[in-house]
Structure formats: structure tokens, C-alpha cells
Amino acid sequence: MTLHNISSRELREKKTKKDREHGRVKHKSDRFLKRTAAVLSIIFAALMLYPFLFALSCSMKDNSKIYEVPLKLLPAKANSISIVLDYSDLEIRDEAQQKDLMMQDSILTMFSVSYKMPDASVMEIQIYGVRDGKTLFHSRAHQMKLQMERDYGIYASTAIKKEVLLHDDRYVRACESIGYEYSAQGLSYGPEGDYDEAWTRDILNATSEKYETVGKMAGVIQKTNNLLNLESFKYYLQMPAYIYPGSPQVVRLGFFAFVLNSIIVIGFAMIAQVILCSVCAFVISRQLSQRAGRFVLLFFMGGMMIPFASIMLPQLIMYRQMGAYNNYAALLLPFLYPYGFYVYLYKGFFDQIPGSYFEAAALDGAGSLYLYREICMPLSKPIISLIALQTFIGNWNDFFWAWLVTEDQKLWTLNVALYNISNNMGTKQNALMGLSILTITPVMLVSVLFSKQLKQSIAASGIKG
């Protein structure tokens, strides 16, 4: 009896020991896997994020730093310099001449500094015109603004020389485009801070020879303001207006013209697909016999199997003959038939609605429209958001069709615009990256906000497709 007891106890002990050992082994190999998984996943995530961080840092660099080798991920600090020009001892006839002189000097200094000192990371130049201790003139320009005027604006494809800068009324137009303030009685603010000797010397060197100003340079104040790197984005948004001055829509809205087109196209696609597919699926699911329903569904699904690459050119020929070329009709028409896959997803959903709902309503004399609008639609909120999301993901990336049918800049969608701007030789890399970042950031933010719905929709469509 005791023997038996002992042996059973031993057995039990042995068992638990074995179990524990087993458990530890399991624990160990699992823990190893979990650790490796965590480390590798984080590496993957970091690698995936790298291109975007890279784009972000490029977009905040100035025009010379983007060509720096080896590349630095952090943008350089942004200098803001204020140049004070003194007009105290000058013979000046009248006020008009005084203002004119100050405007000339301002343009001369701004463009010469940005042209002669490209490596100095001067993101902002402020010019103060001072006379007898009073500040009469102030103008401020961001580096991107000056660059745009030089690349596409008033000074497009001209040499940066004194005669060219001041030719005719160019400097007046430039001043007005940049913005300035002038008051004969003196402005309420003035230059603040101490003069920086090194900067004063550099800037005097840059301007004194070929770009001599009338006013005497009293000194240069240097400040560091890294927010100026962010301000570049404001000018990136305006850049399309400078690149394509021939299109009034683009000039008026800048980059938002393309954003608007993308919203129109994607919005139309989402609405059209949600309505068309639900109507078709409702009819297939509720009003047709099974055989007829399968035939119609196959008819819609068949259209989906035709690859875009083989249909694009016959489609282009047909649309051209119809006159749907280079207008919104060409962009929107391809969304005007139900996509087979979405009809299929809808049908799967409608099939699950209990038939008794419809029978009860039909007994009360409800028509098809009533059944669709009052029974199907209120129940199908989840599927509607799924279809809308699918349409968005599927068509947000569309490029080739929109590129084939649009010549006019005012019709370009974001993808087409980005492609065309990137093929424009004059466009600097930082501007391109900035526009890319501006394109994807809202989408990314929204997708992070709605990540739960997104995940559900992807999983749902994947299981069935």
C-alpha cells in the first residue's frame, strides 16, 4: 500500500517535472520566436518608413542642400537674415524717388544674395530701408519665393545681373509679387537684434561688386528659425501656378486644382459604384431567379477580367469618337458601369437579409424602389462603407487612363500632375518631394484614423475574392 502510494507520488512528481520541463521548453522556443518576430518586424517597419522620412527631409531642405553628398537625413538649420540699408545722407528729390530707390535696392539685394550665396542656407531675407533712425521700407522674401520667380516667374530664364534685375518695371512687379511695406512717416516696427559681422562681410562681398545698392548697408542681423523650412510647403503649393501660367484654373488654385480634380474623380467613382452596384445586386439577389441572377452576375464579373492594358487603346479610340477626350466626361465615364466584384460583394450581403422582411413589405404593397430604399439601404451601412473604401483604394492610384485622356492642365488629377511636374526639368527635387508629401499625408492620416474599418474591409474582400 505504502509502496504503491510512494510510487504513485513519485509518478506524479515525475509527471509534473516533465510537464514543467516541457513547459519551459515550449516557453523558451516560443519566447525566442516572439523576440525575433518583434525585432524583425520593427526592422521591416523602419525600412518601410525610410523612403517617407527621406522624402520629408528632402522636402525641407533648401535648393542647394538637396545636392549634398553624402546625404544627411536632418535638414540644415534655416537662417533668417535681415539686411538694413541706410538712406540717411543721400540727396533724394522726393518721396516717389525714395520709394523707387528702396524697391530697386531691395530686389537687387534679395536676388544677389540668393544667387551668389546658394550654400549659406538663407531661407528668409528681410530688407529694411532706414532713414534718420526711422524705418521707412520693409520687404520679406522666402528663399522658395525668390527661386520660383527666378525659375518660372518674372525673372524666368534671365541672367541675374543688375541691368536685368532692374530692367523696365520688372523690379516693381517683383516687389509687388513678393510684398513690401512703405510709409514716409516711418513704420511701427524696425530691425531688431545686433549686427553680425561675419554675415555683414559676406553679404557685402556678394553685393558690392556687381549689385551695388544706392542705400548704404548698415549691417546684417542673423537669426535661426527652423520653422522656415516648413514654410517652404506654402510655396510648393503655389508652384504649379508658376509652372503652368497658361491655365487660369491652375493659376488661381495652384496645387489645389489637381487635388480638386482627384476629389471629383474619386468622389464620383465612390458614389457611382455604391449606388449602381447596390441597385444591381438588389435586383440580382431579390428579384431574379437563381439562374438569371447567376447569368447577370457573370456578365458583370466578365467585364472585370478584361485587363486595362488590353482595353485602354480601343477605349481611347471609342471615347475620342464620342468626343469624350480632354474633358471631365473622359475621366468620369469609366466609372459609370457597375464593377462586377462589388456587385458580388453586395449580393453576398443582400442574400443574408431575411426574406421575411421583403415578403412582409411586399404584402403591404411596397414596390421595388421602396424595398430597395427602405429595407436594403438602411441595413447595408457596413457594406456601403466597404465598397466606398474599396473603390477609393482601387482607384486612388489610377494614372494611365487619366494621363491618356487629359492634355489640359486644369483636368490633371494628382497622379498625372505629379508625373508631369516631375518630368519638368526645371523642378527642384525638394519641391517635388514636398508636393509628394502633401499628397500622401492627408490620405495617410485618414487611413490611420479609420484603420479599423480599413482592415475589416480588406479582410472581408480578401476572403471572398
> Among residue numbers 15 through 34, which ones bind another protein (CB under 8 A)?
22, 25-26, 29-30, 32-34
CB of 266 to another protein, least distance (A): 11
Question: 144 or 414: whose CB is closer to another protein?
Answer: 414
Look up cell 522656415; give the residue. 228
Contact characters 239-258, another protein, x per CB under 8 A: --------------------
**Residue 224 dihedral angles phi and psi, to the nearest 5°:** -110, 125
CB of 248 to another protein, least distance (A): 24
Of these, 9, 176, 234, 299, which contacts another protein (CB under 8 A)? 299
CB of 319 to another protein, least distance (A): 9
The neighbour count for residue 23, using CB atoms within 10 Å, is 11
CB of 83 to another protein, least distance (A): 31
Question: 264 or 312: whose CB is closer to another protein?
Answer: 312
Instruction: Give strand pairing partners of 138.
Output: 128, 181
Q: Scanning residues 397 to 456, which ones bind another protein (CB under 8 A)?
A: 397, 399-400, 414-416, 418-419, 422, 429, 432-433, 436, 439-440, 443-444, 447-448, 451, 454-455
Q: Please report whether residue 295 would count as binding another protein according to CB under 8 A.
A: no
CB of 70 to another protein, least distance (A): 5
Of these, 305, 354, 356, 364, which contacts another protein (CB under 8 A)? 305
Q: Please report whether residue 329 would count as binding another protein according to CB under 8 A.
A: no
d(CA 229, CA 79): 10
**Residue 135 dihedral angles phi and psi, to the nearest 5°:** -85, 120
Contact characters 62-101, another protein, x per CB under 8 A: ----xxxxxx------------------------------
Using the contact rule CB under 8 A, the part of the chain among 78-86, 147-155, 157-165, 293-301 near another protein is 293-301
Report angle CA 339, 344, 349 to the nearest 5 degrees.
130
Contact criterion met (CB below 8 Å) for 175 and 137:
no
C-alpha cell at 256: 489645389
Contact characters 184-223, another protein, x per CB under 8 A: ----------------------------------------
Question: 195 or 403: whose CB is closer to another protein?
Answer: 403
Q: Please report whether residue 54 would count as binding another protein according to CB under 8 A.
A: yes
Q: How far is CA 178 from CA 146, 171, 186, 391, 416, in A?
A: 8, 10, 20, 43, 30
CB of 218 to another protein, least distance (A): 39
Contact criterion met (CB below 8 Å) for 190 and 132:
no
Of these, 129, 215, 240, 334, which contacts another protein (CB under 8 A)? 334
Question: 220 or 371: whose CB is closer to another protein?
Answer: 371
CB of 270 to another protein, least distance (A): 15
Q: Scanning residues 343 to 372, which ones bind another protein (CB under 8 A)?
A: 368
Of these, 218, 260, 333, 377, which contacts another protein (CB under 8 A)? 333
Tell the burial category of 56 from Cβ atoms under 10 Å away from its Cβ (0-12, 13-18, 19+): middle
Q: Please report whether residue 311 would count as binding another protein according to CB under 8 A.
A: yes
Question: 82 or 439: whose CB is closer to another protein?
Answer: 439
Q: Which of 62, 67, 58 is nearest to 120 (CA)?
A: 62
Question: 21 or 197: whose CB is closer to another protein?
Answer: 21
Q: Please report whether residue 377 would count as binding another protein according to CB under 8 A.
A: no
The CB-side HSE value for 91 (13 A sphere, CA atoms) comes to 0
| Binding-site size, another protein (CB under 8 A) | 91
